[in-house]
């Protein structure tokens, strides 16, 4: 069973619908005991980093998340969830969770696309990712697959944490983390078949990890 973290800045329902479609048992919850009993945790997020962090701090879920990571529970951050797993976000000048080192930065509107035109911010739509190191999440997914992004800020962890990058004006980190602790800037729950495959891979990893 996967726990989808329930807080006000999440797109929990979209994630739940995708998992339901895949037949993956899941629950939207803020209950620490339920989260502790899950095979893995999905940490979604939409909106602004500052508000998302406030929600986590007010509810104490920041500590719940950190404890679970400490205990080795697999975690998948999505979008704003991916961003606030880092130390800091430029959005609302936010001190974030610090589960992974690095900061989250605003796209530079002076960057240009391959056609020479300035990039439009937010980065909204489908884009390819380039895998930089092996990752169970991407197992079986074609390198040409694209994912759906909607964001104005991008994660910038140290290079050793970068699993895949995307290019929008310049190259930025699209997946960061390491085994069992992952974060994706795009929305797998809205990325069609490749996105669903990524979620299925995450669940398979979680089940495997809980057996080990």
Partner 1 sequence: MLSKRIIPCLDVRNGRLTKGVKFEGNVDIGDPVETARRYYEQGADEIVFYDITASHEDRGIFLDVVERVASEIFIPFSVGGGINTVEDMRAVLVAGAEKVSVNSGAVKNPDIISQGAAAFGSQAIVVGMDVKQVEKSATIPSGYEIVIHGGRKFMGMDAIEWAKTCEALGAGELCVNSIDADGTKDGYELTLTRLIADAVTIPVIASGGAGSPAHMYDAITRGGATAALIASIVHYGQYTIPDLKRQISDMGAKLRMVW
| 119 and 168 Cβ atoms separated by less than 8 Å | yes
Catalytic-labelled residue, pool 26, 79, 104, 166: 79
Helical H segments across the chain, by residue range: 12-22, 32-37, 49-59, 61-70, 80-84, 192-211
Determine if 148 is a binding residue for partner 1 (CB under 8 A). Answer: yes
User: Of residues 39, 123, 176, 187, which has the active-site annotation?
Assistant: 187
| Closest to 78 (Cα-Cα) out of 168, 14, 172 | 14
Nearer CB in complex with partner 1: 90/127? 127
Catalytic, 26? Answer no
Q: Which two tokens stand for residue 114?
A: 């391959």
69's tokens:
């990571």
- Can you tell me whether residue 113 is helix, strand or coil? coil
Q: Which of 177, 165, 204, 174 is nearest to 69 (CA)?
A: 177
For the bound state, the minimum distance from the C-beta of residue 125 to partner 1, rounded and expressed in Å, comes to: 5
Q: Is 79 a catalytic residue?
A: yes
Q: Is 25 in the site for partner 1 (CB under 8 A)?
A: no
Pick out residues in 36-95 that bind partner 1 (CB under 8 A). Answer: 46-48
- Residue 20 engages partner 1 in binding (rule: CB under 8 A): yes
105 binds partner 1 (CB under 8 A): no
Six-digit token pair at 80? 């704003």
Region near partner 1 per CB under 8 A, out of 99-107, 111-119, 130-138, 177-185: 111-119
Whose Cβ is closer to partner 1: residue 64's or residue 82's? Answer: 82
What is the four-CA torsion angle of 72, 73, 77, 80, rounded to 10 degrees?
-80
Q: Which residues are catalytic?
A: 79, 187, 189
Residues forming contacts to partner 1 in the complex (CB under 8 A) are 13-14, 17-18, 20-21, 46-48, 109, 113-114, 118, 120-127, 142, 144-146, 148, 150, 167-168, 189-196
């Amino acid at each position: 069973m996967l726990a989808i973290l329930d807080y006000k800045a999440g797109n929990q329902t979209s994630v739940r619908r995708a998992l339901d479609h895949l037949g993956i048992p899941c629950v939207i919850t803020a209950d620490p005991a339920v989260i502790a009993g899950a095979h893995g945790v999905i940490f979604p997020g939409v909106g602004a980093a500052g508000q998302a962090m406030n929600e986590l701090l007010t509810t104490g879920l920041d500590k719940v998340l950190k404890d679970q990571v400490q205990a080795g529970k697999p975690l998948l951050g999505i979008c704003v969830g991916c961003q606030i797993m880092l130390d800091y976000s430029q959005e609302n000048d936010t001190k974030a969770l610090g589960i992974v080192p690095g900061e989250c930065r605003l796209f530079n509107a002076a960057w240009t696309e391959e056609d020479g035109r300035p990039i439009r911010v937010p980065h909204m739509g489908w884009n390819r990712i380039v895998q930089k190191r092996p990752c169970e999440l991407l197992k079986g997914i074609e390198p040409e697959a694209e994912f759906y992004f909607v964001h104005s800020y991008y994660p910038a962890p140290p290079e050793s944490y970068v699993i895949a990058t995307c290019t929008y004006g310049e190259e930025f980190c699209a997946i960061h983390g390491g085994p069992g602790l992952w974060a994706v800037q795009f929305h797998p729950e809205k990325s069609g078949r490749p996105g669903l495959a990524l979620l299925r891979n995450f669940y398979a990893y979680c089940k495997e990890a809980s057996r080990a």
